[in-house]
Amino acid sequence: MSDPYVFSPPLQPPSPNGINPWRLSVAPMMDWTDRHCRYFHRLLSRHALLYSEMVTTGALIHGDVERHLRLNAEEHPVALQLGGSEPADLAHCAKLGEQWGYDEININCGCPSERVQRGAFGACLMAEPQLVADCVKAMVDAVSVPVTVKHRIGIDKGESYEFVRDFVGQVSEAGAKVFIVHARNAWLKGLSPKENREVPPLRYELVHRLKREFPCLTIAINGGISTGEQIAEQLAQVDGVMVGREAYHNPWALASWDSDFFGAQASALSRESVEAQMVAYMEREAAANGTHWYAIARHMLGLRHGQPGARRWRQVWSDHKLKGLPAAAVMAQAAIKM
């Protein structure tokens, strides 16, 4: 990627005169926010903070580290989200993440899936704030990049503000200064992960209250936020906004983030130029790593969301019958369908 895209130094907590790197971010999403997706999102926004999929400590300790941690230089600023509950393991994996170039290490205390619960991490960790504090302290001692926490406002059907307040207070004393708060409870039983993103009510006011009570911490909010108007409304109350599935399904929205929320000049990007840059990336990946364009194209299928001809364009890029063609030829066919 060439200018004007710039690579950021390691993230630092926001200063009064600097840009807050957590002001806008794209959430970690399993099976979606891999390095190809993050490359695509970086074409659309120079400043948004991008998160990896959650990587478990077991996958790094016992699996293929390069497969899980490889990233493109163009992705910065980029954060690694870890799943685990053993302080020593998390410290080891945080160090690996720093060595591979990630700008931030984030611990997952928000995922409610049963598989994650069986591993004794994710949202169920909120019931053990001292353990989370021990994990954070171990990681803070192991790395020089920020260690952050992503969590819910509560677990199951408890609605006590004091629960999340005490969690944040105790964990912050261990060295975490940035908390990304999904403004829903996590119901550990009876709901699927999808239902956990929809059924528990959003209670933004609890996250706003956290910011008022902990003014020296960076508090970012997540959950149900999709439009620019909603982002601006939340930024009046907290330090940052994390956007999840809307960023994946309607990625062109990211193209206005830099000018709307980071004070940059309006982007001169077009959907066509982004598609062409992605084809160049596909060709580079095929030559360097043997990656088929089909594995990359799935992440950009929302590029023309809401545009005339978008459905036909998506059909071309997702047509398995065209997998034998080079990416440039598929782009040419997709253009004909527009």
What residues are labeled active site? 111
> Strand pairing of 178-186 and 147-155?
parallel
Cβ atoms of residues 52 and 79 within 8 Å:
yes
Cβ atoms of residues 94 and 82 within 8 Å:
yes
- CA 237/CA 219 separation, integer angstroms: 9
| 269 burial level (CB within 10 Å; 0-12, 13-18, 19+) | middle
DSSP class of 209: H
Q: How many CB atoms lie within 10 A of CB 45?
A: 26
DSSP class of 34: S
Q: Quick one: tokens of 169?
A: 């207070």
Kind and range of the H or E run holding 149: strand 147-155
| 266 burial level (CB within 10 Å; 0-12, 13-18, 19+) | exposed
b (16+ CB within 10 A) / e for 217-256: bbbbbbbbbeeeeebeebbebbbbbbbbebbbebbbbbbe
Q: How many CB atoms lie within 10 A of CB 311?
A: 10
In DSSP terms, 108 is beta-bridged to 150
Crossing angle, helix 310-317 and helix 327-337, to 10 degrees? 160
- CA 158/CA 163 separation, integer angstroms: 8
